[in-house]
Amino acid sequence: MKITYYVASSLDGFIAKEGGDVSWLDELGVSMSDTGYEGFYSTVDALVMGRKTYEFVVNYGQWPYGDKPVWVCSSRKILPMEGCNLQEGSTPEDVYKTATEMNIKHLWCVGGGELASSFMEAKLLTNIYLSLMPVLLGSGIKLFGNLPSDVMLNKVREKSYASGMVQLEYAIK
């Protein structure tokens, strides 16, 4: 199974400000049609996210991921939002096992950074697909949480956009 951490970050490696604020992405004025998001999303069979990311999506008001299966990794009980095809399972290993049984070919690890590190640590993450934004934030939530060791990457794709965004896809060695 391909498991891709597809995410946007600032040039200095932050995916959100402290507290989860991602309004800096809107302020950059990069419209969704300029990001290749829909092309990526169409390749995804299912999603996994951490609790804070899930709550961020829930607070957004409408479930944006249709009926694609979604796991929320959390030790707490998660209440499914209306329209959300929530699956059972709270650890990367749980998710991998169930997703394999469901014949999921491509799982999107939505984030945040701590969840991506958990998938890395469990040796389940296969790809990183980073939209590198032309902005510095200086502080915030890191692209990854702490990692047990350095992780070497193979670059597999690179695309530049008029907005200044650079998309880089890497396979994890």
User: Which residues form the interface with its own copies (CB under 8 A)?
Assistant: 9-14, 24, 27-28, 117, 120, 128, 130, 132, 134-139, 142-148, 150-155, 158, 160, 164, 166, 168, 170
C-beta of 79 vs 158, nearer to its own copies: 158
Least Å distance, CB 61 to its own copies, is 25
Closest CA to 85 of 73, 98, 97, 67: 67
Rounded Cα distance, 45 and 101, in Å: 13
C-beta of 42 vs 146, nearer to its own copies: 146
Least Å distance, CB 159 to its own copies, is 11
C-alpha angle 34-46-164 in degrees, rounded to nearest 5 = 20
Rounded Cα distance, 106 and 2, in Å: 5
> 138-152 as b/e, with b when 16 or more CB fall inside 10 Å?
eebbbbbeeeeeeee
C-beta of 83 vs 158, nearer to its own copies: 158
Least Å distance, CB 15 to its own copies, is 10
Q: Which residue has the tokens 């990457």?
A: 153
DSSP 164: S
Least Å distance, CB 121 to its own copies, is 10
Least Å distance, CB 80 to its own copies, is 32
C-beta of 86 vs 172, nearer to its own copies: 172
C-beta of 23 vs 59, nearer to its own copies: 23
Rounded Cα distance, 149 and 172, in Å: 13
Rg of the chain on CA atoms, in Å: 15
Are 71 and 48 a contacting pair, CB within 8 Å? yes
